[in-house]
């Protein structure tokens, strides 16, 4: 196999290979019950490149993970950008298409309401094998990811191939060290997160391109589906998941095939949940810290440590409104709302979020801490506490809560909370709901929370 890499100028690569690890016989994916080798995968990429329209960018809506992987690579090889809306709802797709007028939607299955100019992915696995690895201009924007909207309106975040490449090689290094794989061994990834999410694309799409990993094409949601997907692939197995999905697995009595490692992101992972998972599955749980703006920048083994280890070359600088994050592969430094304490050994302690702190009547509290106190009440299965946008008649922006507690009354919950939190932060209103409006990765978009409060 061969790849094209041109070194010019100041010794920086002007083109980087699409796929970096292993020979043509390496397994890169598991699709429809069979192993897909590198040469077959490159053949599928070439087939899709030939089928794409010229000069436009693609909203990658592929549901099958292998189809997404092929489409992602084909769009990049075509010199185009993968647009990843914060969700696959019609409204989210329409908003992205309106912002990028020359874009088209690309998918692997017919949609109930197809966007104008929808392009159907050709059948995969039918073309000839390809030996040569294509190269992508290092400066090309291969992805524009959008924030989830959990703290406001989704914002676009462009990623060049050079920055994506450098960032995700750190993920390859971290996971390879966790697995302690022998030379030539391949880790097999099963992911519960959608590939359109930045965590999903990093840990289930970029891993098989840049390291000794292969990915299962499904996105299992229920415990039985996760067990079936894990059984489809050989050891060592890696489960890429979220706290919500991991909690559901632990509540289910069914056993899982042997897992070598678990990764978690998108929301804070409690140490208790992490300890339970490691005890039950006999696998280290690696919690990853990052954002759509920065990608993954740090990790920790939450069952054993509270502090985070930064990826190499990433630096943090506390700011009045959060923390400035920088790295050589960033186009520009990024300010995150997280408040951190810098520690020796390239580590830091996460102290909360600037936007998480609320002040009422001269008193301060953390929304995350208030949420934890609500979750600690007997009978509460899920909950979130937030501050309302509009002030009341006294000019105070009140605290509200949505709670899943089938066997509790609102009055009894409030009575118990009065002994747990300061009266200034007692949720008014506190609404019971059947389920919180979580998106595909378990996050809670603020717009959905406010809409749920209005409907109660």
Please give the CATH topology (third level) of the domain spanning 2-306: Rossmann fold (3.40.50)
Over 90: is that where the pLDDT of 8 sits?
no
The closest alpha carbon to 40, from 277, 199, 208, 211, belongs to 208
| Residue 445, pLDDT score | 85
308 Cβ partners below 8 Å, 6+ apart? Answer: 289, 298, 299, 300, 347, 348, 349, 350
CA atoms within a 13 Å half-sphere pointing along the CA-CB vector of 221: 5
Summarised one tens digit per residue, pLDDT across range 226-277 is 999 999 999 999 999 998 899 889 989 989 999 999 999 988 888 989 999 9
Poorest-pLDDT segment among 349-353, 411-415, 447-451? 349-353
| Residue 152, pLDDT score | 53
| Residue 183, pLDDT score | 83
Cis peptide before 189 (omega within 30 of 0): no
Residue 345 exposed, middle or buried by CB count within 10 Å (0-12, 13-18, 19+)? exposed
| Residue 39, pLDDT score | 96
Summarised one tens digit per residue, pLDDT across range 39-76 is 999 999 999 999 999 878 999 999 999 999 999 999 99
Task: Give residue limits of the domains in the chain.
Answer: 2-306, 361-455
Planar angle of CA 12, 18, 20, nearest 5 degrees: 80
Cis peptide before 404 (omega within 30 of 0): no
| Residue 372, pLDDT score | 85
Summarised one tens digit per residue, pLDDT across range 135-190 is 999 999 999 998 765 555 678 899 999 999 999 999 999 999 899 888 889 999 99
**β-pair partners for 7:** 13
Task: Kindly state the percentage of the chain with pLDDT values over 90.
Answer: 61
Q: How confident is the model at residue 361 (pLDDT cuts 50, 70, 90)?
A: low
Poorest-pLDDT segment among 32-36, 409-413, 441-445? 441-445
CA dist 7 and 13 (Å) reads 5
Contact 259, 249 (CB under 8 A): no
Both structure tokens of 220? 């299992």
Of residues 164 and 6, more confidently modeled: 164
Going through 54-126 in order, the beta strands assigned E by DSSP cover 58-60, 82-84, 104-107, 119-120
| Residue 208, pLDDT score | 95
Angle between helix axes 367-375 and 410-417 (nearest 10 degrees) is 120
CA dist 363 and 223 (Å) reads 43
End-to-end Cα, the chain, rounded Å:
60
DSSP code for 53: P
Over 90: is that where the pLDDT of 28 sits?
yes
| Residue 300, pLDDT score | 97
CA 201 to chain centre: 7
182 Cβ partners below 8 Å, 6+ apart? Answer: none
| Residue 355, pLDDT score | 63
Collapsed DSSP state (helix, strand, coil) of residue 7: strand
Q: How confident is the model at residue 4 (pLDDT cuts 50, 70, 90)?
A: very low
CA dist 389 and 449 (Å) reads 12
**Residue 351, phi then psi, degrees to nearest 5:** -105, -5
**β-pair partners for 387:** 399
CA dist 438 and 3 (Å) reads 42
The closest alpha carbon to 83, from 41, 119, 113, belongs to 119
Of residues 369 and 9, more confidently modeled: 369
**Residue 15, phi then psi, degrees to nearest 5:** -145, 140
Q: CA dist 451 to 26, 388, 456, Å?
A: 48, 12, 9
Q: How confident is the model at residue 11 (pLDDT cuts 50, 70, 90)?
A: very low
Collapsed DSSP state (helix, strand, coil) of residue 17: strand
Both structure tokens of 67? 């189809």
How long is the chain?
Answer: 456
Q: What is the mean pLDDT of residues 433-449?
A: 85
| Residue 359, pLDDT score | 72
What rounded mean pLDDT belongs to the chain? 88
DSSP code for 295: E
Q: pTM, whole model, 2 decimals?
A: 0.82
| Residue 224, pLDDT score | 95
Domain 361-455 superfamily per CATH: ANL, C-terminal domain (3.30.300.30)
């Amino acid at each position: 196999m061969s790849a094209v890499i041109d070194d010019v100028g100041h010794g920086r690569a002007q083109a980087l290979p699409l796929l970096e690890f292993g020979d043509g016989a390496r397994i890169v994916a598991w699709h429809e019950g069979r192993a897909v080798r590198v040469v077959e995968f490159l053949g599928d990429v070439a087939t899709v490149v030939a089928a794409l329209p010229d000069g436009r960018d693609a909203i990658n809506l592929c549901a099958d993970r292998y189809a997404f992987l092929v489409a992602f690579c084909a769009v990049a090889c075509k010199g185009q950008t993968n647009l990843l809306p914060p969700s696959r709802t019609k409204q989210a797709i329409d908003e992205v298409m309106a912002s990028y007028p020359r874009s088209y939607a690309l998918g692997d299955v017919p949609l109930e309401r197809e966007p104008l100019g929808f392009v159907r992915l050709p059948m995969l696995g039918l073309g000839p094998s390809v030996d040569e690895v294509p190269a992508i201009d290092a400066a090309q924007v291969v992805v524009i990811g959008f924030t989830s909207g959990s703290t406001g309106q989704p914002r676009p975040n462009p990623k060049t191939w050079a920055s994506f490449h450098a960032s995700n090689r750190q993920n390859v290094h971290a996971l390879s060290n966790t697995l302690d794989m022998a030379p030539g061994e391949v880790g097999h990834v099963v992911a519960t997160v959608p590939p359109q999410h930045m965590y999903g694309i990093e840990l289930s799409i970029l891993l098989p391109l840049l390291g000794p990993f292969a990915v299962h094409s499904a996105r299992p949601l229920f415990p039985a589906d996760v067990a079936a997907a894990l059984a489809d692939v050989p050891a060592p197995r890696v489960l890429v998941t979220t706290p919500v999905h991991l909690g559901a697995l632990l509540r289910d009595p069914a056993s899982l095939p042997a897992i070598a490692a678990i990764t978690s992101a998108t929301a804070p992972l409690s140490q208790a949940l992490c300890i339970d998972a490691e005890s039950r599955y006999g696998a280290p749980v690696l919690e990853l810290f990052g954002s759509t703006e920065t990608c993954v920048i740090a990790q920790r083994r939450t069952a054993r440590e509270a502090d985070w280890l930064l990826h190499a070359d990433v630096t943090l600088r506390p700011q009045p409104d959060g923390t400035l994050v920088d790295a050589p592969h960033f186009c520009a430094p990024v300010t995150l709302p997280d408040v951190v304490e810098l520690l020796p050994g390239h580590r830091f302690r996460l102290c909360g979020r600037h936007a998480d702190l609320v002040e009422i009547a001269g008193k301060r509290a953390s929304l995350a801490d208030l949420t934890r106190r609500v979750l600690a009440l007997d009978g509460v299965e899920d909950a979130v506490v937030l501050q309302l946008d509009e002030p009341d008649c006294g000019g105070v922006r009140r605290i509200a809560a949505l709670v899943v507690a089938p066997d509790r009354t609102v009055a009894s919950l409030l009575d118990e909370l009065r002994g747990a939190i300061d009266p200034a932060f007692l949720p008014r209103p506190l609404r019971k709901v059947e389920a919180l409006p979580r998106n595909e990765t378990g996050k809670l978009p603020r717009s959905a929370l406010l809409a749920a409060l209005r409907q109660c």
